[in-house]
Structures are given as C-alpha cells and as structure tokens.
Amino acid sequence: MSNSGVLQAGGNITVDGTALWTDILETARFGSTPKGGIRRLTLTEEDRQVRAWFAAACTALGCTVSHDSMGNQFARRPGRDAGLPPITMGSHLDTQPTGGKFDGIVGVLGGLAVLRALHASGFETRHPIELINWTNEEGARFAPAMLASGVFAGIFTEQEALNKTDRDGIRFGDALAAIGYRGEAPCGQHPVAAYFELHIEQGPILEAEGKTIGIVTGVQGMRWYEVTLTGRDSHAGTTPMTMRADALLAAARIIEAVSTVALAHGPDAVGTVGLMENRPNSRNVVPGAVFFSIDLRHPDDTVVSAMETDLRARIERIVAAAGIGLAMERVWDSPAVHFDPDCIASVRAATDSFGYPARDIVSGAGHDAAYLARVAPTTMIFVPCAGGLSHNEAESAAPADVAAGANVLLRAVLDADTRLNA
C-alpha cells in the first residue's frame, strides 16, 4: 500500500506530544506507589477515579462517552456518515499490583491524543472514531486476562465473567456494580469497523535494534494453568525428612520443570510461575498445601500443546514420587493470532510517511487486540520501553517514542478511514 491515502487524508495533522506526556504523568497519580509506579487493580476505587478522568477528558473534546455491561468505556467522535461503524482505538487503564506508568495506558492516552489532534484541526472523518478502555485486561485481580474484551469477542459468556472471583472471594459483577460501571448495553453488540492498539513493546527488541516503531503482525499463543498441591502439615522439628509430604518442595521441583520445558522447546518458548500461595505459611510447619500459576507461551500453537504435554508428564512424576495430591486446571487458552493485512498495511504506510525506523514484530504478551482480531480487522503498534522492562514500577518509555507511536496511530486510523467501506 502506498502512502497516498494517509497523505491525502489529514496528512499534515500530528499529535501534541507535550500534552500526551502531561496526560501520562497526570493519570499516574491514580494508584501511585512510593517507588514511582502504579497499583491500579481493575474495579477498585483507583480504577473508578481514572475512568472518571478519562470520561471527562474525552467529553471535553466533544465525544460522547458510554460504557457497556462489562464496564468497557467507549468515547465516540462523530464522522460524516453516522451509518458507518466506528474505526476504533484502545487499550486498558488497569495495572499490575506493582505496575508502571505505560503498560496499557499509552494506548488509551495515545488514542486520546489522536482525538485531541482531530478536534484541534477540525478534520472530519468519514467514519465515527472511537477510543475504548477495556476492563480487566491485566487479569491481575480477576483471572483470566483480557476478560471484558473476551466477552466482547464471544470467547467468554458474560455470566461466566461476572461470576469470576478475586482471591478475596469478591465477584467481578459485584465489584463492577460497586464502582458504578455496570452498563445496560450488552457487551459484544457494539459495532467495530477496525481496531488499532498502541502499546509499549514490553520487551527489549525495538530498543536493542534502534527501532522507533514495531509493526505488530500477531500475538503468540499462551495458556494459563492453576495448580494446587496437597501434602500434609506437620511439625518442622519432629517430622523426619523421609516421612514428610512437603507440598512446597514438590512445587519447587515443578517450578524448575516449567523452566526446563520452556528451554527444551526452542528460543521462542517461555514458561513462568508468577503467583504462589503457601499454606499454612508458618516457619516451623512443613507446608501442607501450595497454590500457584503456570504461564506457557510460544508463537506456534502446536509447540504450546507440546509444552503442555511435556510439563504435565513431568508434574505427574514429581507428585507421584513425593506422595502429593495434584489438581491442575487450564484456566485460559489464547491461541496465536495473525493480524489483518490491510490494517498492518495502514500502520506500515503511516510509519513510512514519518520515516520512523521500524520492524515487523510478533507480540510476546497478550493484549485485547488478540480477541478483537476475532471480530474485526485489527493490528497493533509498538514503541520501545527502557530495557524491555514492563510489569514493573520502574517501567519507562521516552516521550519522543510515545509521541511517535501516537502519530502512527493517527495516520493509520486516517488511512483506514479512507479505505474501509469506500
């Protein structure tokens, strides 16, 4: 695809990078941590506060803001043809328990910068343009991740999602109602002509190669598991080593097996245990029960399946040898995603129009775009993050890179506006 569509359709419009950076710093106060990060778990008071800020900022630009039955927020800027479905942008405002200022929110605030640029220029698109905040992308409080976009795309039923509980037993539906975001519009019935998501890479490749833009061609496959090991609580001083049923020791061996399996399936395979609860968690009691998560990922779904088969066999051998009870459940399966070629072409044309150094890239992390790709033409835009660090309070990105990503988002949306439904 040539750059002509981009250059003809508002090609002289650019985002206000200073205002975008100000928005990043301003929203970081909602759930700010002493170490400079953000703890803004979904459907908490901090989430409610940043949602209100988002709604006010979009309303000030003449947008109509609404939310659906899963709490997804939609800020709509009218187009010349109200009968056309909207071209959408978006990401998420929730964070990890020790999250940074950029994961997710760069896509929301970059979209806000696009709306601000269109508003300031008075440029009128053919399609309505919408900016979306997806609920519970992180999955840190309510598993699995991308829960509300998953309902939107038909991956999960709404009732299934509403009944999810956090580690304190609080229902998703109750938490959603408590912050006032249980809308009446059924989730998933909102039309979408195309979807573009801006995000930090969350990895080291772009920075290492000196690239400003990652043109994202897809998302790798990933599976999450929850494991409960049941041994026997016993006295740490009086129970001989040969007579213990130590659930934590078995868990340690399984954690090592997760790493072994990932290393055995090539350089693109990764395996992680990131959540663990040890019970009774007393210094002089042999642990009788352990709950933990397992995360397996690879760009090829057949490799993910092979990893699972290998790991399950290793786990069964470990618990059998230790005399430990096992309950293992796959709680999330997100197959590999290949993004829409035309949307990718719009991003490539937009990137070329600015002359930004770029490369094609597959996302190693899950994003709402992975589910949107099932119901609408979709792609993503990556910008570098310092040291590839993410899901960390020290997460950082350069103002110029963030502005560059928002500029590419703007021109990709404008390119799609001229191309779709023409």
Annotated binding residues for Zn(2+), written as ranges, equal: 92, 103, 138, 199, 391
In 30-82, at which residue ranges do the beta strands (DSSP E only) sit?
A: 64-67, 73-77
Please say whether the beta carbons of 75 and 121 come within 8 A.
no
Task: Judge whether 368 and 171 are in contact, CB under 8 Å.
Answer: no
* Inter-residue long-range contacts of 1-4, CB under 8 Å, 24+ positions, other chains counted: 1/342, 1/345, 1/346, 1/348, 1/349, 1/415, 2/349, 3/349, 3/352, 3/353
Phi-psi region of 37 (alpha: psi -120 to 50; beta: other; left: phi over 0): beta
- What are the binding residues? 92, 103, 138, 199, 391
Q: What angle do CA 405, 408, 414 make, to 5 degrees?
A: 145
Residue 85 DSSP symbol:
P
Reduce the DSSP state of residue 133 to 3 states and report it: strand
Q: Which residues of 87-98 are buried (b: 16+ CB within 10 A; e: fewer)?
A: bbbbbbbbbbeb
CA distances from residue 25 to 28, 257, 306, 382, 401 in whole angstroms, order as listed = 5, 41, 43, 20, 15
Token code pair at residue 46: 């901090």
Q: Which residues, 6 or more positions from 164, have their beta carbon under 8 angstroms from its beta carbon?
A: 142, 143, 147, 171, 172
DSSP 8-state class, residue 127: S
